[in-house]
Structure 1
C-alpha cells in the first residue's frame, strides 16, 4: 500500500509539473512571431491609428492554450492587456476542439490522431473534457465567460446587438473597455447534435465554421478528402443557425459547402480568416466568384495574417489581399481576421496592428478606407445583423 501511494504521489508530481511546463512549451513553439514587440511606425501612421474609434479582429484561437488571458503573456499573440495596448475594441475568440496529426492544407483524414487530446490532458482539464468535443467546447466557452467577469467593467461578452451598442457607448468615455465575441472553428464540436448547437448558443457562441481541417458531420473541408457539400445534417444545422442568430463562417469550407451555404442561408455570412486566390492561389483561399457571391449577400471577408493565407512577405501581402477585395467588390466587405494563436507564425502580435495601418497608407488607402478595414466594417456588419 505504501509503495502504491508513493508511486501515485510521484505520478501526481510529474503530472503537475507537466501542467505548468508542457502547454506553455507547445504554445511557444506553435505561435511564434517573426518580429517581437515593441513595434514602431511612422508618426503619421501612429497618429492615424490613434484616431481610430473601433478596431476589430475576427479570428483568434487564444482560448485553446490554457493561458490566463487577463494577464499580459510573454508568448502567443493575444490577451486582454495587449488588446488594450493595441486599442482593439472587439476580438472574436474562436474555439478549436480537434486538430488532426499531420495537419496540412492539402488533405487530412477524419480518423487521424487528434492533437488536442494530449493538450487537453496536459492542461489539467477535467477528465470529462479529455475525449468529448462538446465538453471541450463548452469548457472554453466558460473560460471566456470567466475572463470577461474577471475583467470587471473593462470587458463585455458580446452576444447581442444591445451588448455591442453598450460596448460602443462605454468606449466613448473609456477606450480600455474591450468586447469579446465567441465562435467555433469546425462544426464537429457539436458532435452531430442540434441539441448541442442550442447548448453552444446558450454559452454565447455567435459564429460557427462548418468545417476545419477535416470532413465532419456538416460536410467537406477545403483540406479534407471528400470535397463534399453540406450533408442533410449540415443543412439542418445551417438552417437552425440562421434561426438562432449564429453566423456561418466559411473559412476552411469546401467549395461545395460555400456554394450550398450561399444558396440556402437567409443571413449574411462571415469568412473569419482567409486569403484570396488572386494574391495566393491556395485551396484554403477564396476565388473571385466566391468573393463576389459573399459580398452580394452582404457578407464580410476578413484577411488573415499568416503566410499560408497571404504568402510572404506577410505585411505587403496582407495589404495586397485587402486591396484585391476592395477593387473586386468594394471596401465595405473587407476586414481583419488574423488567426492569432492559431498555431501559426504571425508577422507580429496584436500590438503590431499599427503596422497594418502604415502598410495601407503606403498603398494609397484613404483614411476612410483604413477606418473601414480596421474595424468600422465589422461594427456596421454586427450592428446590422446581430439580434
Structure 2
C-alpha cells in the first residue's frame, strides 16, 4: 500500500511540473449549443476551467467542429464563443498562438487556449478564408473531418469506396503550402490514407496527428497503420493519442452494441424524446455501472503510446483526448480533471520523468516551435 501511495505522490509531482497539453477537445460546439458557462464547474461534459485546473491541464486546443452542413460562419461563431470565455475569465485563461505565448501563459498560471479547426470544409475551398481563420488564432487545420472536401479525401469515405480519386488534388496541395507559409500545423487525423501520404509529401514542416490511435492494436479507419506512424516519425511530427474507447479497444464496439441492444426499447423511447446522441448519453447515465464495465482501462492508452514509441521513439507522441467529442472514455477518465491518472499509468509502466514530460506536452510545444519559428 505504501509503495502505491508513493507512486501516486511521485506521479502528482511529475504531472504538476510538466506542461500538460491536450491537442483536441470538442468543447466549443457543445458550449454554443447548450449555452453553458464552461468557466464554472459543470455537471455535464468533460471540460470546464475548474476541472482543467484540477487536472493540471496547462494548454487546451479547442476544436472548432461542425459537420458537412456547417462552414466558415459557424467556425467563426465558435471562435467568438472562445473569445467571450476569455473576456469573462481573463485571470484564468489566455488565447495563445505560438510556443512562447503558451509558455508565458503557463508561467502566469493561466490555461493557454489554442484553436484547432477540425475539417477543411470550413475554409470553403477559399485560401482567403483559411488565412482569415489563421489571423483569428487557428494553430492547426485538420484537412478533413469524416466528410471529404473537393480537394482532400477522408478516411471514412476512402474506406467506404466513395472516392474515385483519393488523396489531395492540386488545390489541396496549395492548402498545405499555405498552412506551411502561415506557420499553421497540418493535422492529419481523420484523413484518408492517400491524403495522408500526399500531405506528408507536400508539407515542408513537421505535421500533427491531433487525435488518433494505432491501427495495429485496433484496426479502425481512424487509426494509423504502422507505415503511417513511421512516416510521421520520418517527417518529425507528433501523434496525439485519442482516448475514445472505440479507437482504443478492439472489443469495445461489440460490447457497446450488446449494451444498446439490451436496452433498445429504452433507447428508442429516449431517442424519440431527445434525439439519438443525447439518448445514448442518458441511457449510459441510467445504467452507469454496466456502461462503465464495458470501457477499457487507462492501460489501453499506454498500450497505444507504447506502440508509437517502439516504432518511432519518445519524441513523436502526445495526448489528444477528444473529450466532449465521444460518448465513452477509459474507466475513471471522466473529464480533464482525471489527466493525472495518465501520468500515474505511464510511471507504472516504466516511463521516466523526462519521457513523461515529452508525452504530456513537451513534444507538442517543440512541434509548435518548428512550425511557428518561435
Which range, TM-score by smaller chain?
A: 0.7 to 0.9
- The answer for the alignment partner of 1:74 in structure 2 is 43
| Cα deviation 1:10-39 (Å, max 9, x = unaligned) | xxxxxxxxxxxxxxxxxxxxxxxxxxxxxx
| Cα deviation 1:140-163 (Å, max 9, x = unaligned) | 011111212222132221113431
- The answer for the alignment partner of 1:240 in structure 2 is 178
**Please, which moves more after superposition, 263-272 or 351-360?**
351-360
What CA RMSD, in Å, does the superposition of the two structures yield over aligned residues? 1.7
Shift of 1:256: 0.5
Name the SS for the 2:339 alignment partner.
helix
Q: CA contact under 8 A between 1:164 and 1:383: conserved in structure 2?
A: no
- Equivalent of residue 12 in structure 2, options 33, 49, 55: 49
Shift of 1:42: 4.4
- The answer for the alignment partner of 1:338 in structure 2 is 321
Q: CA distance change for structure 1 residues 210 and 314 in 2, over 3 Å: closer, same or farther?
A: farther
**Is 1:137 aligned with 2:95?**
no
- Equivalent of residue 85 in structure 1, options 54, 67, 90: 54
**Is 1:214 aligned with 2:126?**
no
- The answer for the alignment partner of 2:203 in structure 1 is 265
**Is 1:230 aligned with 2:199?**
no
Could you tell me how far apart the structure 2 residues matched to 1:143 and 1:43 are?
Answer: 42
Structure 1's consecutive aligned runs of 4 or more residues displaced over 3 angstroms after TM superposition are none
Shift of 1:280: 1.0
| Cα deviation 1:104-149 (Å, max 9, x = unaligned) | xxxxxxxxxx5xxxxxxxxxxxxxxxxx511100110111112122
User: Aligned runs of 1:302-381 on 2, under 5 Å?
Assistant: 302-311=240-249, 312=252, 313-347=296-330, 348=333, 349-381=335-367
| Cα deviation 1:38-80 (Å, max 9, x = unaligned) | xxx8452243233333111100010011232211111111121
Aligned length: 311
Name the SS for the 1:212 alignment partner.
coil
TM-score by length of 2: 0.79
- The answer for the alignment partner of 2:67 in structure 1 is 98
- Equivalent of residue 197 in structure 1, options 102, 110, 130: 130
Could you tell me how far apart the structure 1 residues matched to 2:73 and 2:116 are?
Answer: 15
Q: CA contact under 8 A between 1:279 and 1:317: conserved in structure 2?
A: no
Shift of 1:379: 2.3
Could you tell me how far apart the structure 2 residues matched to 1:60 and 1:366 are?
Answer: 27
Could you tell me how far apart the structure 2 residues matched to 1:259 and 1:364 are?
Answer: 33
Could you tell me how far apart the structure 1 residues matched to 2:241 and 2:368 are?
Answer: 17
Q: Identify unmatched segments of 5+ residues in structure 1.
A: 1-40, 100-113, 115-131
Could you tell me how far apart the structure 1 residues matched to 2:228 and 2:107 are?
Answer: 35
Q: Identify unmatched segments of 5+ residues in structure 2.
A: 253-295
- Equivalent of residue 24 in structure 2, options 56, 59, 72: 59
TM-score by length of 1: 0.77
Name the SS for the 1:180 alignment partner.
strand
Q: CA distance change for structure 1 residues 62 and 322 in 2, over 3 Å: closer, same or farther?
A: same
Name the SS for the 2:211 alignment partner.
strand
Could you tell me how far apart the structure 2 residues matched to 1:344 and 1:248 are?
Answer: 27
